[in-house]
Amino acid sequence: MKDRLSHWLADVQLALALLTRLPLPARSLPDRGARAAWAWPLSGVAVGGLAAAVAVLALGVGLPATVAAALALGMQALATGAMHEDGLADTADGLWGGWTRERRLEIMKDSRSGSYGVAALVLVGLVRWSALAAVLEAGCWGAVVAAAVLSRVPMVVLMAWLPNARGAGLSQSLGRPDRRQALVAAGVGLGVALAFGGPEALVMATAGAAAAGILGLVAQAKIGGQTGDILGASQQLSEAAALVAAAA
């Protein structure tokens, strides 16, 4: 039991090291790859918790909800190094900027952002900001954490569902989680989201899953699978959908 607990704690720290830029204590961690993917949703507790704390502090000093929402999104970007936003931009550029599978993957690998990527960042950012402002104005800060947790479940599910389209990169190097790990990630994410967001987390989870599912179908049709950029885009789109559901 002690060894199992040690593995669980190591998986959580691996999730934080992979999906955030938070300063973590330097220690040797086992290379568990995709086997630690079940803990990815838990990284959302840290990211969403920091964002919610910033928002609550901003509201506490009299700033409007719109400003608090902008500051919360800024904190999320700082905490993750904007890696998911980068994935969203590259995904939009690649999936809609190329005419062949090879060209789409080539565009997605390019670090420069094109018109599709910029448009995606602006539009999805506006959706997240406006929905988050409405949630904060209603005093439902727990939904911020719930959305952050739920939006990291699709990354595990898409890795288990779709093959790696590129055959290289970070997503490929981690390996592929199996269905059991995806189910555990979904269960952990939903349980934590319910604790923070209440029964409304069920609606948020449904909306987020629908957004990520549509992205997965498009990625499968256009590039034959997933990449790290697709996974990052799934986080952004599912969080936007979850926040819209919470605002509604």
pLDDT of residue 134: 98
Q: For residue 220, what are the CA distances in angstroms to 106, 158, 223, 228, 233?
A: 16, 10, 6, 14, 14
Banded model confidence at residue 26, pLDDT cuts 50, 70, 90:
low
pLDDT of residue 137: 96
Mean pLDDT, rounded, for 78-100: 96
Mean pLDDT, rounded, for 71-100: 96
Separation of CA 119 from chain center = 19
Q: For residue 2, what are the CA distances in angstroms to 6, 7, 9, 27, 50?
A: 6, 9, 11, 18, 30
pLDDT of residue 3: 67
Which candidate, 203, 52, 211, 193, places its Cα nearest to that of 135? 52
Structure tokens at 196: 């923070």
What backbone phi and psi angles, to 5 degrees, belong to 81? 70, 20
Side chain identity, residue 164: N
Q: Can you tell me the distance from the alpha carbon of 228 to that of 209, in angstroms, rounded to the nearest whole number?
A: 18
Q: What angle do CA 7, 229, 160 make, to 5 degrees?
A: 50
Which candidate, 169, 239, 180, 175, places its Cα nearest to that of 211? 239
What percent of the chain has a predicted confidence (pLDDT) above 90? 81
Mean pLDDT, rounded, for 88-112: 94
Burial per residue of 217-245, b for 16 or more beta-carbon CB atoms within 10 angstroms, e otherwise: eebbebbebbbbbbbbbbbbbbbbbbbbb
pLDDT of residue 169: 61
Banded model confidence at residue 7, pLDDT cuts 50, 70, 90:
confident
pLDDT of residue 166: 85
pLDDT digits (tens, 9 = 90+) for 30-80: 666 678 899 999 999 999 999 999 999 999 999 999 999 999 999 999 999
Region for 183 from its dihedrals, namely left if φ exceeds 0, alpha if ψ lies in -120 to 50, beta otherwise: alpha
pLDDT of residue 155: 97
Inform me whether the pLDDT recorded for 210 exceeds 60.
yes
Q: With a threshold of 0.85, does the pTM exceed it?
A: yes
Q: What's the DSSP call for residue 114?
A: -
Inform me whether the pLDDT recorded for 28 exceeds 60.
no
Banded model confidence at residue 146, pLDDT cuts 50, 70, 90:
very high
Q: Collect all residues with Cβ–Cβ distance below 8 Å to 161 and sequence separation of at least 6.
A: 182, 216, 226
pLDDT digits (tens, 9 = 90+) for 154-198: 999 999 999 999 876 666 667 789 899 999 999 999 999 999 999
What length is written for the chain? 248
Q: State the maximum Cα–Cα separation within the chain, in Å, rounded to a whole number.
A: 53
User: How many C-beta atoms surround the C-beta of residue 105 within 10 A?
Assistant: 22
The continuous run of DSSP H or E covering 28 comes out as none
Are the beta carbons of 117 and 93 closer than 8 angstroms? yes
